[in-house]
Structure formats: structure tokens, C-alpha cells
Amino acid sequence: MTDINQVVLVGRLTRDLGNDERSFAYTPNGQARANVSIAVNRSRKNGDQWVDEVNYFDVTIWGKTAENLKPYLTKGKQIAIEGFLKQDRWEKDGQKFSRVSITANNVQLLGGKSEGGNNGQQAGGYTPRFQPRTQSGDVPANSMDDSAQYGGNDPFPEDIPF
């Protein structure tokens, strides 16, 4: 029977992904690797009051995902990670060490418009603008109105194409 090793976390990055060898690099075979750290907040009840506690986790992101996310992995950005736990063990000067980290299979950027400095644009990069009709009822040129698709001023033509 196979055991289960799966982790899902939502947290905030504790630092910017830098260009140094420890945080972002390529392996000798050309695969990208990004090492990030996330803070995950948790509230728990201690007696009659709620206590907030923060846990910090090291996450490794591999391949195209690491390359594509590199410009967006900035301090404070909220991300969701789905992956698995990996334990590294080593010995130094006769003393044994161990470290548990997360290897990401899937990473999603979270957060609203105010994060990431996208100047008020929506996620798709298009900011809708209101374009009032002129007094004659015509739509101004270069409008993103549906009426331009139908070749008239009526956005609901009688001949529906379905």
C-alpha cells in the first residue's frame, strides 16, 4: 500500500526571490530551481482567548513554473502551494542534521488588485472604461461596446446568431 505525502498551504512570501544562487538558479542540466519561504498564519484557542501563531516553511519550485513565476514572487505576495514534504539529512563534524522542506507541484498566485503594484489593472491586464453615448445615441469610435460587433447602435439585434 502506498503512503500519502501531500501538502496544501496558503501563505505569504517572506522575502523577494532574488537573483542569488541560493534563491534562484539553474541545475547543470538546465532546469530552473526557485527556493522561497512562506509564512502561514494560524489562530488557535488557548483557554478563553485566541492566539495567533506563525509557521515558516521553505518551498522549492522547479522547472518552467519557477521560471514563469520569478518576476511575481515578491515579499508579502500571497500564494497557494500544493506539493509534498521532503526530508534532507546530512552529517557535519560528526553531528547529524535534518531539515524538512516542501517541493511544490503546483503554485498559484493569490491576492487582489492592490497587491503586486499592477496600477489598478485587473488580472487580465485590461481595465474597463466607461464610454458615454453621444447626444445622438451613437457610440464613440474605439469603444469596447457590443454594438460594434453587430454593425449598429442596437446591442440586441433581432437576428440572434444561435
| pLDDT value of position 135 | 57
Averaged pLDDT, groups of 10, the chain, 162 residues long: 93 88 90 94 89 94 93 93 95 94 95 49 43 53 47 56 54
Q: Which of 36-41's residues contact partners 24+ apart within 8 Å by CB, and which partners?
A: 36/61, 36/73, 37/13, 38/9, 38/11, 38/12, 38/13, 38/14, 38/79, 38/81, 39/11, 39/12, 39/13, 39/14, 40/9, 40/10, 40/11, 41/11
| pLDDT value of position 134 | 54
